[in-house]
Amino acid sequence: MSFHPLKDVRFDTSSSGPDENQVARAKVLTEDLLEVVRSEHAKAQAALMQQQMELHAAQLQFAQYPMVYS
C-alpha cells in the first residue's frame, strides 16, 4: 500500500495563502520527511564507515606483504 501525502489536500485558489489547517498539515509532513531523511542519512553514514573500516583493514593487511621487485 503506497502512501501519498497530498492525496487529500485541497487547494483553495481564491485565497492569498494557505489556511491554518494546510500549514499544520505541511508542518506534520515536513517533520515526517525530516525524520525519514535523518534515518536514511544515518544508515548511509554507517554503511560508509563500515566500508572505510574494511578498506583500511585490507590496506593494513596488504602493507604486511613484503615487496618483491622483478
Q: Which of 28, 32, 5 is nearest to 40 (CA)?
A: 32
Model pTM score: 0.60
Cβ contact 46:53 at 8 Å: no
> pLDDT category, 20, cuts 50, 70, 90?
very high
Cell of 29: 509532513
Q: Which helix (H) or strand (E) holds 20?
A: helix 20-63
pLDDT tens-digit readout, 30-57: 999 999 999 999 999 999 999 999 999 9
The domain limits of the chain are 19-56
State the pLDDT at residue 52.
97
Q: Give the CA distances from residue 65 to residues 33, 52, 60, 62, in Å, rounded to whole numbers and listed in that order.
A: 49, 21, 9, 6
